[in-house]
Amino acid sequence: MRIHFIYFIVIICLASSCSSKQKEVFSPDGRIRLQFALNDSNRMTYQIEVDSIPFVASSCLGFEAENGINLHKEFRIVDIDFTTQDETWAQPWGENKTVRNHYNEMAVHLSDAAATKLILRFRVFDDGVGFRYEYEVPGADSLLITDELTAFNIAQDGTSWSIPANYDTYELLYRTQPVSRIDNANTPMTFKAGNVYASIHEAALTDFPEMTLKNTGGGAISSRNWLLGLMALKCG
């Protein structure tokens, strides 16, 4: 069974031009670069640059599951595909009648010793980055996720606007504070780092709890899901 999770980080910026290399993908205008890597502990990581300046430093990816099912470590890269999409679609409501869907995609195909397959699908737009997990676990028609490792390690401190993470309500006052001072937050969390404004949010969740964010120190922000009951771990 293929199981999908998706998260999305939106980055608002301007324009320039670059070329693409293996394990990395650029926005159509060349301004945003996303890189994927397996770190020294063989954990999956990604990082983002805007105008060649670090924006999201190396950050963990993956989940932990019950019954010893591996969803985050000891994976090897099997293949990497690159595609481009440029289309326009009409929405039934909103500020704009038409929306341009223009991105470059890098799909990283991974597998582990237990034949668990994972596609990490990264899409880089001129104004943002999205990534999606697609797992295929042999013999599993569902997974019980016990922890999440997805992190957003903001490379430089900045100003943030967010409401506290709260299971019961979104009717709370927004706080303006440094990114480094955030304890926890509901999404979307908006912040400014350098001259770039960004928001972190989720999309396309099916049978999975909504995301909140937890500050784990040093600019590291990890995803935390209320229904999992556990704080996301740092990858080591």
What pTM does this model have?
Answer: 0.85
Q: Which letter does DSSP use for residue 93 in this model?
A: S
CATH number at residue 61: 2.70.98.10
Q: Are 50 and 198 in contact (CB under 8 A)?
A: no
Q: Which domain holds residue 211?
A: 2-228
Is residue 235 included in any domain, yes or no? no
pLDDT at 165 over 80: yes
Q: Which residue has the tokens 């990604």?
A: 46
d(Cα 217, Cα 153) in Å, to the nearest integer? Answer: 9
Looking at the structure of the chain, the number of domains it has is: 1
- Residue 174 counted as domain residue: yes
Label residue 108 exposed, middle or buried (CB < 10 Å: 0-12, 13-18, 19+): buried
Give the pLDDT band of residue 1 (cuts 50, 70, 90): low
- Read off the pLDDT of residues 69-94 as tens digits, 9 standing for 90 and up: 999 999 999 999 999 999 999 999 88
Tokens 């799909």, residue located:
107
Tens of pLDDT along 93-152? 888 899 999 999 999 999 999 999 999 999 999 999 999 999 999 988 888 888 888 999
186-218 pLDDT tens trace: 989 999 999 999 999 988 877 777 888 999 887
For all residues of the chain together, what is the average pLDDT?
85
| Residue 172 phi, psi (nearest 5) | -130, 160
